[in-house]
Homo-oligomer: A and B are copies of this chain.
Amino acid sequence: MNKTDTTTQKRSTYRHGDLYRALLEAAVELARQGGKDAVVLREVTRQAGVSPNAAYRHFADLKSLLQAVAWAGQSMLAITMEKELATIQLSGDKAQDARAELRAVGTAYLKFACAEPGLFRLAFSEQPDMSNAANGASQGRSGLTPFQILGKALDDLVEAGELPAERRPAAEFFAWSAVHGLAMLNIDGPMRGVDSAQFEMLGQRLIDMVERGI
Contact = CB atoms under 8 A, between A and B. Distances in A.
A180 B174 contact: no
A60 interface: no
Quickly give the copy total for this chain.
2
B173 A180 contact: no
Q: Which of A180, A202, A208 has the most CB of B within 10 A?
A: A180
A185 B213 contact: no
Given A181-B178, A193-B129, A193-B130, A170 B205 contact: yes
Interface in A176-197: 176-185, 188-194
A133 interface: yes
| Interface range on chain A (Cβ under 8 Å from partner) | 35 or more
A20 interface: no
Interface of A: 124-130, 132-133, 147, 170, 173-174, 176-185, 188-194, 202, 205-206, 208-214
Contacts of A176: 181, 185
B181 A177 contact: yes
A169 B213 CA distance: 18
Contacts of A178: 174, 177-178, 181, 209
Contact of A214 (B129, B181, B213): B213
